[in-house]
Amino acid sequence: MINIVLFGPPGSGKGTQAQNLIEKFNLKQISTGDLFRYNMKNDTELGKLAKSFIDKGQLVPDQVTIDMLIDEVKKPTDASGFIFDGFPRTAVQTDALEGIVKDVLNDNIDVCLSLVVEDEILVKRLLKRGETSGRADDSNENVIRARITEYYAKTAEVAELYKQQGKYVEINGVGEIAEISEKLFAEVEKIK
């Protein structure tokens, strides 16, 4: 199995590159955003619990997210591994994910791939995306800059933990999509 944590600030091309990695290596993407939407839409116990916090304007506790992740990785799959997207974002979540992968999959996180793009390029990309996406958070430069700052603040400690383990790899996220994909593929090939 190949288990990847995929990092990238808003506008880094993470969504596009995740799809390319999924297709190339037969991986299953686990996105915390998708897990929340699925569980709430299907009115699962975890979905109801998450919604109870969201409805009060509170953050969903880590344990609820962790329980959703455990349920998801336990589902049968013919995938050759996982891409974790949107999780972990803190040291506590990193430890939890390591435990889930070890206990449920009897495996390890192999690599943390981080797409690196200069802030000014991110802002331009998101403003351009905002012209067609209809997303309010992609059309206000101040909101975009706040999202980028928050991303770095949240992920710094996780990046440091993976650096200490020798599993953190930065990939330049500027250039042709295919070229960036090839750089990501080469890093994954190293662990196969």
Query: Which domains does the chain carry?
Result: 2-183 (3.40.50.300)
Cα distance from N-terminal residue to C-terminal residue, the chain: 8
Q: Are 169 and 112 in contact (CB under 8 A)?
A: yes
pLDDT (tens, 9 = 90+) of the chain, 192 residues, equals 999 999 999 899 998 999 999 999 999 999 888 898 899 999 999 999 998 988 888 878 889 999 999 999 999 999 999 999 888 988 889 999 999 999 999 999 999 999 999 999 999 999 999 898 887 888 889 989 998 998 888 888 999 999 999 999 999 999 999 999 999 999 999 997
2 φ/ψ angles, rounded to the nearest 5 degrees: -115, 125
CB 25 within 8 A of CB 2: yes
In the block, tokens 């999959």 appear at 105
Tokens of 115: 């797409």
- Please say whether the beta carbons of 97 and 88 come within 8 A: yes
CA dist list (Å): 75 to 57, 70, 107, 141? 30, 9, 16, 40
Q: What is the pLDDT of residue 133?
A: 82
